[in-house]
Structure 1
Amino acid sequence: MYVFAAVVAVLAAVTALLPRGVSGLGRRASGFVALTPEVVAVVAGGVSLVVTAVIVVARGDVQAGTWGLFAEVPALLVLTLLAARRRPVAALVPGLAVALVLLRQVWNGPPLLILGACAAWALPAVAAAGAGLYLRWLDQARGRAVAAAVQDQRLALARDLHDFVAHDVSGMLVQAQAAGFTPGLPEPVADALRRIEDGGRRALASLDRTVHMLNDPDRAPTPGLERVGELADGFPPSVRVSFDVATEGVSREASATAYRVVSEALTNVRRHAPRASAVAVSVRADRLWLEVRVEDDGAAGRTDARRGSGIGRRGGFGLAGLSELLAAVGGSLEAGPHGDGWRLTAVIPA
């Protein structure tokens, strides 16, 4: 009977530990061996066998049926690991009912004695479940604290964008609008002022979307390739911008990254090739990769400095940051001269 009690106590502790406490314990394990459910099962099985052997040898009551415990204990532990590890709490009710029925059939002692024995065997399970729930509560509290700190940083950044950057851009926009009313203004200058005004409006709209996203990220998803055509609005009618985009089977994350690549590339065309007459945007996807290519045809009078510049010089922080972003997600970025123009090619995991 003592052997049976020892085995049941260890099994009860492992049953409670696996679904409740292992996830928290494993994240805190340090050293050479991580405390995974598999490791817990092996350790518990070994402890069960040792305890069983010690009790049997100490009592000197070795019977024919006793040796079966040495095979039954690890078998029950394996079944516990596979069947009880991920079961919901609702599964405990029928499980307890079946256990009580079986217990009543194999043990015909007084009810109070049975109840007391079950309570004693349940103590390790209650202790293991309590430890697991406490560790899980600590994890959740830490997660809430990190989320609150991140949200505070987002709100602070949103305030800075609204109070400083948007204010300065609005000032530039007002000055460009006022300069457009100057009498006798040459048409090229007036056209340049209109482009400045349009760019200022787009910048304010982008800032507004960014501030809205920082304040409420769930209601402002990052644009993807489905909106890439809107990026052509920043070019004058004299520039032909063509899009050849195939997005079937592309994940949302890859689509958002590709949108950023195209946005940065078109911004660099406007900045460094103002006389370009054609820009081609191509997006191709296969099962593993998404390739984004942006080319411009260049313009007469372009200096060799741009042709020989690298990613950092041509795109400034934008392309350098974009290169780091792609490297972080497992992609790559190449940019360089192509004929009379410039080509940018990005490869992104699909």
Structure 2
Amino acid sequence: MRSPLLGVWERLRQGSTSFLVDASLGALLAGWAVVDTLAEPALAPAACLPAAVASGSVALRTRAPMAMAVLASVGFLGYGLAPGTSTPLWSFVTILVVAFAVGAQLRGRRRWAAMSVLLLVTYAVQILDAHRSPGELTWGEVFLTPAVLVLGPALAGWLLQRARRQAVDLRRLAAELETERGRYAAAAAEAERSRIARELHDVISHSVSVMVVQAGAAEQLLPPGSPAREQIRAVRNTGKEALAELRRQLGLLGTGGDPAPLPGLDDLPQLARATGATLTSEGVPAGDTSPGLGLTAYRVVQEALTNASRYAAGASVRIRVVHRGDELELDVANDAGRPADQRGSGRGLAGMRERVELYGGSLDAGPREGGWRVHAWLPRRSGSPR
């Protein structure tokens, strides 16, 4: 169990620097007040005590600002009631420090209470001095000086307190934004991981399933007792195990159940309508387009449309798909438009090129007359990544 004395010691140790500064300042002002009081022959030695209390109260500036204000008020009132006293320089310095500390350290009603007490005591001391020395102080000075000595430093202290509070709020807000940005990045990474998992499942499982089916057909064609049947059966079992392992790994990636069908060439019309682009198709589409190749074509067109909306907002975009037997050609061109968002990771174009080259194709992207053009060529003959 944590000892309360240990907690007190830690607070004292953490605030030791400020306490030493306050104690040194209080001792300096108290010594100044005592020496100045003893140097005045007309003052009784008893006036040293209230002078020391008033000036020494500064030692409580940060630890107990309300007690500081009370002690300073009592000290100033006691010093002002002593015979022969006036308003020496140390009293002005002390009241400035005390009023500033009240504005900087206290809040709400405590601040207003401390300021009211200090203001009333300062007025009382000024009025006593005006009665002791008629003609030396005008009534304007009597009523204006205490307000300047108390309210001015208190206002400066309050402004400092507000600035510190705003700095703390800004640091907390920055920390919250950093945490939120980390959560957003983690969510984006999770979404990307799920997307990659779905693509892997769609592409690889399709190929492995075809391999298993073809191996089963080959096994049926072999005569009974043929040594090759065992090898074909081993191929089928290996494929089934690979599919099971793929589904297990897909679950670890957090896709949450069966993956949804991934887009392909048949989804390009819907993508064009959603983005307001014009789609034209030439040639006869081949019926044996692999899911991976169709997904690659879809992603290339999707990324090109995204770049067009980002860097040429409002421009017309034309999509052209050309089927040439064992080849597939994609062409996305846009006119010049107003730039909507110039920020980008720089990975979009590189990602498109990597996808296309993975299937043995090529991609060109660059400015054209009055706009931008993305051109991709994909061979159908392999149908699978290299």
* TM-score of the superposed pair, with normalisation by structure 1: 0.39
The structure with the larger Rg is 2
Tell which has more relative contact order, 1 or 2 (C-alpha 8 A, sep 6+): 1
* TM-score of the superposed pair, with normalisation by structure 2: 0.35
